[in-house]
């Protein structure tokens, strides 16, 4: 694996999930791999989990890690080739990526979508420009439309909790929110669930259909209660509409999950990528309950980042 930007960069997602889980037995067991190597983490947007788990993952592999909040500390970047840079953009990604590649052996970048320009967001223009001009491997720390490190950690969490022979039923349910959020976590979760052996259902209000390229053959149900029946894992996430892009069409029914609604599930675990707005996206009664899987998901973010960096280091070993 050279770059890690989606499930499609991974030959065998199940093997990556299993290796990620296995790293927990001896977290410092690969500290020799990244000796004298530098991990550069570039954030164009805020983060808690991704930033700290990636930084610590680098440490577990013996790497030096350097972090830059590009949005606040760096020059404003121009991403378009051939641009006449006579506005507020100071540095072109072509030059910035060249410099980053001189200082770093692996570059991670977080770049959220515009939520106004669907074509640009769904072309992954920003992430692709970094990959184009970087001479070292690139890891997505969440792009405009995907969050593969989160989905890898989610897959690990499901595998750790599910040791039965039958496939688990995994439901991704839309949740309310106060502002328009990206579709990245949901797109990515859908891709990864289709790549592993689970019975996967998405439920959301009409008007919140995800991009067809990410849902393909997935069962979509507009009745939340119907979708939740017999679920083993319920992944809760808000996303804004794909059409009209980035908007929040009005929703009539109550989509906030509750203990009562969960009664039709198979005692399902509750999942969320965090950060979560309590009592808007998920109620305290579920977040403070025994079936809350978010601490395990957050823990697995560390081993997801570690296994991805480990594979890249092994692949680029000289």
> 199 or 299, CB closer to ligand CP?
299
Q: Of 11-19, 43-51, 88-96, 230-238, which part binds ligand CP (CB under 6 A)? A: 43-51
The residue within the footprint of ligand CP, chosen from 47, 69, 194, 292 (CB under 6 A), is 47
Phi-psi region of 279 (alpha: psi -120 to 50; beta: other; left: phi over 0): left
Q: Which residue is nearest to ligand CP (CB)?
A: 50
Query: Does residue 13 contact residue 7 with C-beta atoms inside 8 Å?
Result: yes
237 forms beta bridges with 174
Is 49 a residue that touches ligand CP (CB under 6 A)?
yes
- Least Cβ distance, residue 183 to ligand CP (angstroms): 14
- Least Cβ distance, residue 275 to ligand CP (angstroms): 6
Which of positions 229-248 make contact with ligand CP (CB under 6 A)? none
The CB-side HSE value for 90 (13 A sphere, CA atoms) comes to 6
Spell 206-242 as b/e; 16+ CB within 10 A means b: eebebbeebbeebeebeebeebbeebbbbbbbbbbbb
The residue within the footprint of ligand CP, chosen from 66, 180, 256, 274 (CB under 6 A), is 274
Q: Of 45-53, 82-90, 129-137, 232-240, which part binds ligand CP (CB under 6 A)? A: 45-53
Spell 75-114 as b/e; 16+ CB within 10 A means b: eebbbeeeeeeeeeeeebbeebbeebbeebbbbbbbbbbe
> 301 or 310, CB closer to ligand CP?
301
List Cα–Cα distances, 5 to 99, 101, 220, 287, in angstroms.
21, 18, 25, 30
Q: State how far the Cα of 237 lies from the Cα of 303, in Å rounded to an integer.
A: 22
DSSP string of 227-278? HHTT-SEEEEE----TTTTT------S-----HHHHTTSSSPEEE--S---B
Q: Of 25-33, 46-54, 76-84, 224-232, which part binds ligand CP (CB under 6 A)? A: 46-54
> 50 or 129, CB closer to ligand CP?
50
> 48 or 83, CB closer to ligand CP?
48
> 137 or 148, CB closer to ligand CP?
148
Is 273 a residue that touches ligand CP (CB under 6 A)?
yes
- Least Cβ distance, residue 301 to ligand CP (angstroms): 7
Which of positions 148-187 make contact with ligand CP (CB under 6 A)? 150
Which of positions 124-143 make contact with ligand CP (CB under 6 A)? 142
Q: Of 41-49, 216-224, 263-271, 306-314, which part binds ligand CP (CB under 6 A)? A: 41-49
- Least Cβ distance, residue 206 to ligand CP (angstroms): 27
> How many residues sit in the footprint of ligand CP (CB under 6 A)?
9
Is 48 a residue that touches ligand CP (CB under 6 A)?
yes
Select from 152, 135, 122 the least CA-distant residue to 4.
152
For tokens 């973010």, the residue is: 301
Which of positions 50-89 make contact with ligand CP (CB under 6 A)? 50
> 140 or 265, CB closer to ligand CP?
140
Select from 318, 314, 310 the least CA-distant residue to 57.
310
Q: State how far the Cα of 50 lies from the Cα of 311, in Å rounded to an integer.
A: 18
Which residues contact ligand CP by CB under 6 A?
47-50, 142, 150, 273-275
């Amino acid at each position: 694996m050279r770059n890690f930007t989606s499930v499609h960069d991974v030959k065998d997602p199940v093997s990556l999930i299993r290796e990620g889980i296995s790293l927990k037995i001896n977290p410092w067991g690969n500290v020799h791999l990244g000796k004298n190597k530098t991990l550069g983490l570039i954030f164009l947007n805020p983060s808690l989990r991704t930033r700290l788990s990636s930084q610590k993952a680098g440490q577990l592999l013996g790497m030096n890690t350097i972090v830059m909040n590009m949005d606040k500390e760096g020059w404003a970047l121009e991403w378009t080739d051939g641009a006449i840079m006579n506005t507020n953009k100071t540095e072109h990604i072509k030059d910035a990526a060249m410099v980053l590649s001189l200082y770093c052996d692996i570059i991670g970048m977080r770049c959220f979508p515009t939520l106004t320009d669907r074509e640009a967001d769904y072309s992954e223009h920003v992430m692709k420009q970094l990959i184009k001009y970087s001479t070292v491997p690139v890891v997505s720390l969440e792009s405009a439309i995907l969050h593969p490190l989160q989905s890898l950690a989610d897959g690990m969490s499901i595998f750790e909790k599910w040791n039965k022979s039958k496939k688990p039923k995994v439901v991704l349910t839309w949740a309310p929110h106060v502002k328009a959020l990206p579709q990245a976590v949901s797109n990515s979760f859908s891709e990864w669930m289709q790549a592993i052996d689970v019975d996967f259902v998405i439920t959301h209000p009409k008007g919140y259909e995800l991009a067809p390229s990410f849902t393909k053959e997935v069962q979509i149900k507009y009745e939340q209660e119907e979708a939740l029946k017999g679920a083993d894992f319920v992944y809760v996430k808000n996303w804004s509409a794909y059409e009209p892009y980035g908007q929040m069409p009005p929703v009539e029914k109550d989509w906030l999950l509750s203990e009562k609604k969960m009664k039709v599930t198979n005692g399902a675990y509750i999942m969320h990528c965090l950060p979560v707005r309590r009592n808007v996206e998920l109620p305290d009664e579920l977040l403070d309950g025994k079936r809350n899987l978010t601490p395990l998901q957050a823990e697995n973010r560390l081993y997801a980042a570690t296994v991805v960096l480990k594979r890249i280091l092994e692949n680029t070993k000289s």
